[in-house]
Amino acid sequence: MSVVIPDEILQASQLSPSEFRQEIALYLFQTGRLTLGYASRLADIPLNAFRQLLKQRNIPLYSYDVEDFELDLKNLHELGRL
């Protein structure tokens, strides 16, 4: 599937086509809609370069929420480590 972005939208965004792709990939990764690999492919840049882009934008590579923390605490208790 191909997506066509009208030139007027690209001009309004003041981004090049490759920058536009990167912005979309960053957003979809950050919101959890794409994995790191797919976002890198969408951005059309190597995986390590995409990781660097995430680092530059202060976008975490992994999401660790309260549920993850609670599960870790439960597991540590079950293992007798807490």
Q: What is the pLDDT of residues 17-74, one digit of tens each?
A: 999 999 999 999 999 999 999 999 999 999 999 999 999 999 999 888 899 899 999 9
Q: Is residue 62 part of a domain?
A: yes
Q: Is residue 2 part of a domain?
A: no
Q: Hey, how many other C-beta atoms are within 10 angstroms of the C-beta on 70?
A: 10
Q: For position 63, what pLDDT does the model report?
A: 83
- 3-state secondary structure (DSSP) of residue 66: helix
Q: Is residue 45 part of a domain?
A: yes
Q: Hey, how many other C-beta atoms are within 10 angstroms of the C-beta on 34?
A: 19
pLDDT band at 82 (very low <50, low <70, confident <90, very high): confident
Say which residues have a Cβ less than 8 Å from residue 45's Cβ, sequence separation at least 6.
22, 53
CA distances from 62 to 5, 28, 54 (A): 30, 14, 11
Count of structural domains within the chain: 1
Q: Is residue 1 part of a domain?
A: no
Range of the domain at 68: 7-79
Q: Is residue 25 part of a domain?
A: yes
pLDDT band at 1 (very low <50, low <70, confident <90, very high): confident
